[in-house]
Structure 1
Amino acid sequence: MAVVVRAGAAPLWWLGVVAAGAGVLPPGLTGRRIGVLAGAALFLVAAAVVAYARRGRYRAPARSAARAGKHDILQDRAVTVRNWRRGHRWWLLLGFLAALGTAFAVPAAGGLLLAGCGAGLWLKAAWIGRLEQDGEALLWVRVDRLTPAAGRPAGRRTAEGYRTTGIAAGDAAPGGARRRTPTLV
């Protein structure tokens, strides 16, 4: 489940950083200094709101998650990330273009807002990772619940689709990060 949350963090962060960097170039209506200060405030607010919003929607189904059975299909981390990014590429592009467009009014603010949303998603994935470590089980969303028609990973229709496996299962570490395989010496 944390993989799906984390899948949007990197593109939002990097598109936001690029948009903020390009947004500093035009002076804008408010001036660069006010734009960057407003963007910094928006970054902090967006990161906090995204990180703390709807935590109950993740916590409640995690408590009632069923153990993954032999016939449950669970996707690899890379496939999940790739599918999420393909399914949301137009929204990411629109967000990037909107962040660039706001640079003519308030320089860098839109890009920093976008980057703050990405940072908030990363913080939320880290929080889910702590939930997984405390429960000593990775949380998974079944493949049939990851389709765009099924909704979000914490939506009402996906709540019964949560499955658990051991911490060492799969290619994702707690929190959705790539599992690092130890090198043998």
Structure 2
Amino acid sequence: MAVIVRAGAAPLWWPGLLAAAVGAFVPGLTGRRIGLLAGAALFLVVLAVVATARTGRYAELAKGATRAGRGDFLQDRAVTVRDRRRRHRWWTAGGFLVAVASAYVLPGAGGLVLAGAGAGLWLKAVRIGQRERRDDVLYWVRTDWADRGRPTGRQVKGYRTTGPVAGDAAPGGARRHRR
């Protein structure tokens, strides 16, 4: 489940930083200093909003989690990340273009907003990973329940759990490193 959240972080973070860097070279209508300061403030606001959004639903579904059964179809981390990124690639590309275009008004601000959303998703995945370590389980969303890739969508009736060493994902959705 944390893999779904974490899969969106990098495609927002890196293009956001690139758009902010491009925006820093454009003078814009408000000037570089105001644009970058506004972008920094928006970065923090978006990071906080994204990191705390729907945390109650995550906790509610985690409390009611049941052990994964034989009939549950759980995807590997690599498949989930690839599917999520392919499904959202046009939104990410569009967000990047809007962030670069917004540099003509507020230089760097649009890119920092995009980067803030990516950092917020990463922070949310880290918090989910802390819960997984504390409970000594990995939380999963059944593939057929995942509502367009959302781990808290209406179709998600509950989470499934496995042991902490199941699959190819570490707690928090990171790649498991084999020794």
Same fold (TM over 0.5): yes
Alignment of 1:124 onto 2:121: no
TM-score by length of 2: 0.97
Partner of 2:34: 34
Partner of 1:136: 136
Check the 8 A contact 2:145/2:157 in 1, yes or no: no
**Alignment partners' CA distance in 1, 2:96 and 2:157:** 31
**Alignment partners' CA distance in 1, 2:139 and 2:80:** 14
Deviation at 1:71, TM superposition (A): 2.2
**Alignment partners' CA distance in 1, 2:132 and 2:157:** 16
**Matched AA of 1:82:** R
Partner of 1:101: 101
Deviation at 1:156, TM superposition (A): 2.3
Partner of 1:177: 174
Give the 4+ runs in structure 1 shifted more than 4 A.
Answer: none
Check the 8 A contact 1:57/1:155 in 2, yes or no: no
1:10-21 alignment to 2 at 5 Å?
10-21=10-21
Check the 8 A contact 2:147/2:156 in 1, yes or no: no
SS at match of 2:160: strand
**Alignment partners' CA distance in 1, 2:93 and 2:151:** 22
**Alignment partners' CA distance in 2, 1:171 and 1:52:** 26
SS at match of 1:14: helix
Gaps of 5+ in 1: none
Deviation at 1:147, TM superposition (A): 5.4
**Alignment partners' CA distance in 2, 1:88 and 1:145:** 18
1:75-114 alignment to 2 at 5 Å?
75-114=75-114
**Structure 1 147/55 Cα, relative in aligned 2: closer, same or farther at 3 Å?**
closer
TM-score by length of 1: 0.94
SS at match of 1:12: helix
**Alignment partners' CA distance in 2, 1:55 and 1:32:** 35
- RMSD of aligned Cα (Å): 1.1
Check the 8 A contact 1:2/1:176 in 2, yes or no: yes
**Alignment partners' CA distance in 2, 1:164 and 1:70:** 12
**Alignment partners' CA distance in 2, 1:23 and 1:159:** 43
Partner of 2:152: 154
Aligned length: 179
Partner of 1:168: 165
Gaps of 5+ in 2: none
